[in-house]
Structure 1
Amino acid sequence: MTVHFAGAGPGAADLLTLRTARLLAEADVVLYPGTYLDTEVLGHCRADARLVDTQRLDLEAITSVMVEAHEAGQDVVRLTSGDPSLYSALHEQGRRLDAAGVPWDVTPGVPAYAAAAALVGRELTVPLVAQSVVLTRTRARSTAMPEGESLAAFAATGATLVLHLAITRTRDLMAEVAPHYGAGCPVVVVHRATQPGEVVLHGTVATIADRVEEAGLRQAAVILVGPALAGAALDGESWLYSDGRTRT
C-alpha cells in the first residue's frame, strides 16, 4: 500500500485534480488539514473511509496514523492545503515514512497564490514590469528563516511578492517593503480563496494593513505585493506574441 500526498488546492471541492479526486474515492484513510480545507472536499471520499483531521496533531502522531494504516494494508491519502511543494511539511513526513519503510508519492494541487491571482484577474508576471514571483513567508512564532532570505532582500528585486503565513504581521511587513515598492504599490490579500468564507481585500502598501485589521483576518490568507497587480493600468506586452516577431 502507498501513502499519497495530494494537494487539496485552495479549498474548493471542484478545484482538485482528477487524480486527487480518484485517490480520495479509493482511499481507506484520509488525513486532511481542517484549518484550511472546505469540508466539501471530503465529499470525494468513500462513505466508509476513515477521516483524520490533522490540525491538532503533531508530526509524530500524523506519521503514526499513516504507518499503521500501511501496515494494515490500507491506502492512505494525506491531503495538504494548496500544493504539496509549498509549506506542506512534505519533507519532514516523507523522511519519517522512509525511515519506517513506507512507500509514498505526490500529486500536485492548485496553489493558494494561483487561486488568489485568478480571483482578482491578475497575471503576476507582466512584461517590462515584473518577470519573477517570490514565494516566501516571514518569521513570527515559526521556524527561523535561512540566512540571506530576508524580506528586504526579496523586495529589493522588485518582483511580485507572495507572502504566506504572514497575515498577522501585515503592518510590519508593509513597513519593511515600502522603501522598495513605495506606499502606492498595489497589494491584494485573499483569505480562504474559493471557499464559502472567501474575503478579497484590495489596497496599497500604505493602506492594506488597515483593511486586514478591519476585516479581522488572522489565518488562511496570502498577501500579494507588486506593480504587476495594477492590471489594466499597465501596458507591458510580451515579445512572444508581438506582431513584430518573426515566426517560422
Structure 2
Amino acid sequence: MTVQDSTISQPPSHPVVFLGAGPGDPELITLKGRRLLDQADLIIYAGSLVNKELLTGVQGECFDSAGMDLEQILKHIIAGYRKGQKVVRLHTGDPAIYGAIREQMQWLDKEEIPYEVVPGVSSAFATAATLKKELTVPEVTQTVILTRQAGRTPVPERESLRNLAAAQATMCIFLSVSMMDKVAADLIDGGYTPETPVAVVEKASWPEEKKLTGTLANIDEKIKASGIKKTAMIIVGPALDMESTIASKLYDTKFKHEYR
C-alpha cells in the first residue's frame, strides 16, 4: 500500500467543536454556531439548559449529557471523532463562563484530538438586554464582575462576594439564586448599601422568562414569593439605577475621538 493509499483510507478528521448555544432564545446562537450545528454528525448537548428548539431539524445524532459523567461524555466525543464525524459539544450560554470545558479540553489534549471553541451569547448579557440596562455607566461604574456564590463548588476567599463588593462595580452573579439570602448578606457586609438595586432574571430570553427587581434589603423575600429557584442571573450594582443622567463621552459633540 502506498502512502497516498494509506492517507485515503483514514477517516476525515474534523476538530471537535465546543459550541456556545446562547442563553436560550434559538435566534441568539451565532451564525457560525448555527451552521456548525446543522452540519454536525454527533451533538452532545447540556440537558435542560439548552433549548431543544436549537436541535429541531438537525441531521446529527443527539445525546443529552444530563445523565452522563465526564468519562461518558468524552467516550462519545472521542468515538465520534475517530469515526470521522463532525462532533459538536453544545454548551449553554458561552462555554468560557462556568462551561466546564477545561477538563474536557485537557482530556482531548491527552488523546491528541484537535478542537475549537465557538463563543455564544452569555446569559449575563441576555439578562442585561431583558432589563434594558447598560452594565457600565460613565462616572458610576466601568467594571463588570462575573462571579458566583460559594456552594458545592468552592470559591477562593479572595474572590468571595464580601471581598468583591469593595469594588462597588456591577456584579453578574451566576448559579446563586437559591442562596439569595447569603448573597445579599455578603454583599452588604462587603460594602454595598441595603438600598443597592438588584435584578433577578430566570431563564433570560426563554418564553417562560421571569424577572424581578428590588434592593439587597428585599430581594430574597421577593424571590421566595416568586418561586424562582434556579437558572437565574442576579445583577447587582448602581448601574441599575436609571436616575443617573451622566452620558458617555463617545458621542459628545465636544469630544474628539479617533474611533466611534
- Normalising TM by the smaller chain, what interval? over 0.9
Q: Which residue of 1 aligns with 2:215?
A: 204
Q: Which residue of 1 aligns with 2:255?
A: 245
Q: Which residue of 2 aligns with 1:64?
A: 75
The alpha-carbon deviation at position 240 of structure 1 amounts to: 2.5
Asked whether 1:221 is paired with 2:243, we answer no
Distance 1:51 1:200 in 2: 32
Asked whether 1:145 is paired with 2:158, we answer no
Equivalent of residue 121 in structure 1, options 116, 132, 142: 132
- Checking the alignment, whether the CA contact within 8 Å between 2:250 and 2:257 is kept in structure 1 is no
Q: Which residue of 1 aligns with 2:20?
A: 7
1:155-234 matches, cutoff 5 A: 155-179=165-189, 180-231=191-242, 233-234=243-244
| RMSD, matched Cα | 1.3
User: Which has the higher Rg, Structure 1 or Structure 2?
Assistant: 2
Q: Which residue of 2 aligns with 1:136?
A: 147
Distance 2:193 2:67 in 1: 40
Unaligned runs of 5+ in 1: none
Distance 2:186 2:66 in 1: 31
One-letter code of the match for 1:172? K
- Checking the alignment, whether the CA contact within 8 Å between 1:32 and 1:53 is kept in structure 2 is yes
Equivalent of residue 105 in structure 1, options 101, 116, 122: 116
CA deviation digits over 1:93-149, x for unaligned, max 9?
A: 10001111211001110000000000110000000111000000121122x212411
CA deviation digits over 1:179-212, x for unaligned, max 9?
A: 4221111111111111122111111111111111
Sequence identity percentage: 39
Distance 1:162 1:43 in 2: 31
- Checking the alignment, whether the CA contact within 8 Å between 2:25 and 2:51 is kept in structure 1 is yes
Query: Does the residue aligned with 1:241 lie in a helix, a strand or coil?
Result: coil
Q: Which residue of 2 aligns with 1:41?
A: 54
One-letter code of the match for 2:78? V
Aligned residues: 244
Distance 2:140 2:57 in 1: 41
- Checking the alignment, whether the CA contact within 8 Å between 1:82 and 1:112 is kept in structure 2 is yes
One-letter code of the match for 2:39? E
Distance 2:15 2:197 in 1: 44
Unaligned runs of 5+ in 2: 1-13
- Checking the alignment, whether the CA contact within 8 Å between 1:21 and 1:44 is kept in structure 2 is no
Distance 1:41 1:141 in 2: 30
Q: Greater CA deviation, 55-64 or 23-32?
A: 55-64
Query: Does the residue aligned with 1:156 lie in a helix, a strand or coil?
Result: helix
TM-score (norm: length of structure 1)? 0.94
The alpha-carbon deviation at position 33 of structure 1 amounts to: 1.1
Moved over 6 A (4+): none
TM-score (norm: length of structure 2)? 0.90
Q: Greater CA deviation, 175-184 or 17-26?
A: 175-184
Distance 2:197 2:166 in 1: 16
Distance 2:89 2:234 in 1: 26
- Checking the alignment, whether the CA contact within 8 Å between 1:124 and 1:133 is kept in structure 2 is yes
Query: Does the residue aligned with 1:174 lie in a helix, a strand or coil?
Result: helix
